[in-house]
Amino acid sequence: MSDVTAVLLAAGNGTRMKSDLVKVMHPIAGKPMIGHIVDNVRRAGLDDIILVVGYQQERIRAYLGDSVRYAVQAEQLGTGHAVQQAAPLIDEAEGGHVLIMYGDNPFIGPELIQRLIRAHVDAGAAATLLTAEVSNPGMLGRILRDPATGAFLGSVEYKDATPEQRQIREIWPGIVIFRRQGFTSLLGRLDRNNAQREYYLPQAWEILLREGEKVQALLAATEAEALAPNDRVEWARAEAQLRRMINERHMRAGVTIINPDATYIDAEVEIGRDTVIWPFTFLQGRTRIGRNCTIGPMSTIVASTVDDGCVVQQSVVEESYVGPGCRIGPMAHLRPGCELEGEVEVGNYAELKKAKVGRGVKCHHHSYLGDATIGARANIGAGTITANYNGVEKFRTEIGEGAFIGTNVNLIAPISVGDGALVAAGSTVGPRVEIPADALVVERAPVVVKEGRVAKLKAAWRARKEKREGV
């Protein structure tokens, strides 16, 4: 819809959130509220987006970058005043329409936006509001209609409403579309003759109605779509609502979620069909899960790709790639920068960091592989450590294909272990050692056995203790 410019209002602080963070940057399902609104507008087919910013605008600009255009409302003097700041950018195009939305409601989706635009264009209206009936309108403005015909008569802000008008349950949730022609001159006619001493955007359609222009109110939003969160309690409800919607979308696409109320999936996560998600699992950021995986219980996957047929049980995966058929956990931790090829096994309490792991590698039982490259089919024994940091610099460990690293081995980087080599249990090797292919490495101190010494040793210990205690 190239002839529609979207103006999103995001300049306010949102004081009821009681936060040092501007309201529209509070995340819901892993994405700031303003991110949801921008994405919904784009999915509705609108490419020309103007964001009116003010309070903490640097945070918003850092997040959205140059994907939108910006207008600045330095002083917050109402919704009408906010739109006035975008007037020069609105006037850069001719013809078409201007869609205005608040920047804090993630539930007005692309289908609803498209429906509003179609109704507006088909009716040839000067302005079309989206409205909703809600059970508890609170201090929101009310929609006024003709009792006999239901025709739209205007709206009234809560603080300006009579007691009778406050009983009305139809509200405007902050989205309206205007005909572009004459719109910015209409904005110049707004005044501050109201209880708040602010420029109200609703006055714009009041002026149009007085002048006989066609203005309609489309009662099409549900209560769940209409109400934006204003404080922490409402934010928590919104979070639960959006996560329910996300989980239902995945389940309808062929994903099994054992307990949706105990599963937390962010908005940008992708999951393949026939994958099973067990309870208390967190899938965060831009995470992609393949087909036929089993994730959880009690797993956290952050900004990672887990390919088809993987199992991730009671483990944490951060900013990493897990190839097809891998098994992670229980109680494993893949820190950022790991790349695992297919059929890798990472077991109990193993930790990897910036590790490139070849196909079929097995790494179980309390091992740490940091800054390491592991060749295909290598076996990493229990308690193996790649000592990658000397307090000043970090170094890499290279382990060849089919190598066997025994239990409780310390590989002090930089070090390389050739293909098929065997490092015997308990060895400490390196740094700057190059172990050839097929070599056997054994590093152990000689065993010293002193018979009958334990009793003498304990007697000496007791004597020293008694001396210290003055016995």
Annotated binding site for Mg(2+): 104, 230
Which segments are annotated as binding site for UDP-N-acetyl-alpha-D-glucosamine? Answer: 9-12, 23, 73, 78-79, 102-104, 141, 157, 230, 335, 353, 368, 379
Which residues line the annotated binding site for acetyl-CoA? 382, 388-389, 425, 444
Q: How many CB atoms lie within 10 A of CB 383?
A: 17
Indicate if 366 belongs to the active site: no
Q: Mapped to the 3 state alphabet, what secondary structure does the chain carry?
A: CCCEEEEEEECCCCHHHCCCCCHHHCEECCEEHHHHHHHHHHHCCCCEEEEEEECEHHHHHHHHHHHCEEEECCCCCCHHHHHHHCHHHHCCCCCCEEEEEECCCCCCCHHHHHHHHHHHHHHCCCEEEEEEECCCCCCCCEEEECCCCCCEEEEECHHHCCCCHHHCCEECCCEEEEECCCHHHHHCCCCCCCCCCCCCCHHHHHHHHHCCCCEEEEEEECHHHHCCCCCHHHHHHHHHHHHHHHHHHHHHCCCEECCHHHEEECCCCEECCCCEECCCEEEECCCEECCCCEECCCCEEECCEECCCCEECCCEEECCEECCCCEECCCCEECCCCEECCCCEECCCCEEECCEECCCCEECCCCEEECEEECCCCEECCCCEEECECCCCECCEEECCCCEECCCCEEECCEEECCCCEECCCCEECCCEEECCCCEECCCCCCCCCCCHHHHHHHHHHHHHHHHHCC
Q: Which burial class, exposed, middle or buried, applies to 106 when counting CB atoms under 10 A from its CB (0-12, 13-18, 19+)?
A: buried
* Cβ-contact 183, 91 below 8 angstroms: no
Residue tagged active-site, from 250, 333, 365, 366: 365
The Cβ of residue 295 has, within 10 Å, a number of other Cβ atoms equal to: 28
Active site residues: 365
